[in-house]
Amino acid sequence: MPRTSTVARGLALAAALLLGAVPTAAAASDHGVRIHISGFDFTGGTCDGAICQFTTAGTATSNLVPDAAAYSADLVVDFSLGGSCNEVDESDTFAFDEGSIYIHSHHVDCREHGWRIRTDFVVTGGTGQFAGATGGGLEMGVPAVGIFYDGVLSN
């Protein structure tokens, strides 16, 4: 192929990319996400003074897929704040048939507020349909209602 033809094609491709005429790779898509945990059980735990580590298991539903998820979490809870407050560092897994979503949050919970949990969460990854997921939003929880994650999921 003559050099001028190769250069011309390269320039045409570069121009098309700049103008958005040629897709490069699959663009990330954003989805509004709502995950609801209606209940869970503590499945294990140990404490060293006021610092405890717990595991939990339950089920969750989401607007992203029709099936329920198996929910599990690793929690580190600091009870040294006193009163009705504690500090929680949590890593959650929502395992749907279509793939898993991983979420992390850190919050101080106090019983005297309407929402016991009200904090930001971050999507830290995923598998299957949710591979490479990122995003985040607001985590809210009250014992009688459950825990909600409302935000954006990008993958």
* Domain positions in the chain: 25-154
pLDDT band of 44, cuts 50, 70, 90:
very high
Looking at every residue in the chain, the average pLDDT score rounds to 83
Q: What is the model's pLDDT at position 149?
A: 97
Q: What is the model's pLDDT at position 115?
A: 75
Instruction: Give just the sign of the alpha carbon dihedral 139, 140, 146, 148.
Output: negative
Between residues 104 and 25, the one the model is more confident about: 104
Q: What is the model's pLDDT at position 144?
A: 77
**Lowest pLDDT segment from 11-20, 77-86, 105-114:** 11-20
* Gap between the Cα atoms of 134 and 130, Å rounded: 9
CATH 2.60.40.10 fits 25-154, yes or no: no
Phi, psi of 135 (to 5 degrees): 130, -160
Place of tokens 């011309």: 8
Percent of the chain with pLDDT over 90: 68
- Residue 30 sits at the vertex; the CA angle it makes with 25 and 31, to the nearest 5 degrees, is 140
Q: What is the DSSP secondary structure assignment for residue 25, as one 8-state letter? A: S
Q: What is the mean pLDDT of residues 91-101?
A: 97
Q: What is the mean pLDDT of residues 100-120?
A: 88
Q: What is the mean pLDDT of residues 80-85?
A: 88
